[in-house]
Amino acid sequence: MKIYFELNGEQQYVDIEPGESLLSLLRRLGMKSVKQGCNTGDCGACTVLVDGRAVRSCITFAAKVRGRRVTTLEGLGSPGDLHPLQEAFLEAGAVQCGFCTPGMILTAYELLSKNDNPTPEEVRAAISGNLCRCTGYRKIVDAILLAAKWKREGRWR
Write the interaction track for other proteins spanning residues 37-56; mark x where CB under 8 A is met and - where it is not: --xxxx-x--x-----xxxx
Interface with other proteins, residue 96, by CB under 8 A: no
Closest distance between other proteins and the C-beta of residue 130, in Å?
A: 8
Nearest distance, CB of residue 17 and other proteins, angstroms: 7
Q: Which is nearer to other proteins, 27 or 151 (CB)?
A: 27
Q: Least separation, in Å, of the C-beta of 118 and other proteins? A: 13
Closest to other proteins by CB, 126 or 146 = 126
State the Cα–Cα distance between residues 95 and 62, nearest whole angstrom.
29
Minimum separation from the CB atom of position 106 to other proteins (A): 9
Q: Is 35 in the site for other proteins (CB under 8 A)?
A: no
Cα-based torsion angle of the residue sequence 106, 108, 111, 114 in order, rounded to the nearest 10 degrees = -70
**Residues of this chain that bind other proteins (CB under 8 A):** 17-21, 23-24, 27, 36, 39-42, 44, 47, 53-56, 59-61, 63-64, 107, 125-126, 128-130
